[in-house]
Amino acid sequence: MKTVSYIEAITEALAEEMRRDERVFVMGEDVGLYGGVFKATKGLQPEFGPLRVLDTPISEELIVGAAVGAAAVGMRPVPEIQFSDFASCSFDPIVQQMAKLRYRSGGGWTCPMVLRICCGGEVGGGLYHSQTNEQWFFGTAGLVVVAPATPYDAKGLLKAAIRGDDPVVYLEHKRLYRWVRGEIPEDDYTVPLGNADIKRQGRTITIVCYQLMVHRALEAADILSREGIELEVIDLRTLLPWDREMVLSSVRKTGKALIVHESPKTGGVGGEIAATIMEEAFDDLDAPVARLAAPDVPPVPFAPPMEKFFMPDAAKIAARCRQLAAY
């Protein structure tokens, strides 16, 4: 085992998959000579050359559209969108082409591409550089949506996504890039898509979360364990399809559930999960399913006090859990 940062795990996954399969290539704004806006592709162009690590014009629509075309003829592109806020510029190729290619061709074509998108708050990026926007992709059938929280999962999920035949939106959180470090194996490994992970066992309340909120939930669990409230923290890891079996099994054990995400509550991932729990595990509940999310305002404020107000954190999670525990 060795210890790496979240972003180092991503870089390792890209390099190893490019060495393993010559069809894998990277493209995006500044990914080549500059090594990526956050340096996730640092060192790739010197090793693999400019034909496999392609700098593109500043056009998200071109980046995704070209990748869909390359995937359709047998390549395995891994394009990068620098900020999830600007993924909206590439909605047509994502929603109309990337997600639908297999279905519209009756299975004749696949779209084996992984669209890496940098996202997330707590970075002081302000309105157009801090959104997560996972709900944009969560509602699009045909896509797989991945959102890792740890270096181990970031590397293993990315390698599994690149090796698969379905289109994947891979959301990597900017706050985690250098803040989170963890152990990964020296040898090759993958993490299966679609499987959640219990990051902490508990018996009082089930917390369903992903990305940065996994770490905030674990902080809250440490606080509450001293008060006799034991949280079971489930990291979804893959948002679409999400691991219904693991979530429902945990809720049936604890009887209470809180879903946490940093994007606004209305129309968010938490609503779908809450509805599913209510439909399929209502008789096992001891309290209404709760959600903790950002407020329904255009995210994310630039001013530090306002960004802190916007983002869910350990104190807010702990406070909501105390209410649930007392219900």
The answer for residues whose C-beta is within 8 angstroms of residue 27's C-beta and 6 or more apart is 53, 54, 55, 56, 63, 66, 67, 77, 78, 79, 80
Q: Which amino acid is at 271?
A: G
Rounded CA-CA distance 119/284 in Å is 35
Q: Count H helices and E strands in the chain, helices first.
A: 13, 14
98, 68 contact by CB (below 8 A): yes
Beta-sheet strand order (sheet of 205-209): 197-200, 231-235, 205-209, 257-264, 290-294
Which phi and psi (to 5°) does residue 233 adopt? -100, 115
Got the DSSP string for 134-155? HHHHHT-TT-EEE---SHHHHH
Q: Is the peptide bond before 144 cis (omega within 30 degrees of 0)?
A: no
120, 83 contact by CB (below 8 A): no
Q: Tokens 């999830």 sit at which residue?
A: 84
Rounded CA-CA distance 66/104 in Å is 18
Q: Which of 129, 173, 215, 261 is catalytic?
A: 129
Rounded CA-CA distance 69/101 in Å is 10
Quick one: angle between helices 6-20 and 151-163, nearest 10?
30
Q: Is 91 exposed, middle or buried (0-12, 13-18, 19+ CB in 10 A)?
A: middle
- Active-site residue 129, yes or no? yes
Rounded CA-CA distance 236/149 in Å is 9
DSSP state, residue 284: G
Rounded CA-CA distance 44/26 in Å is 9
- State the catalytic residues: 129
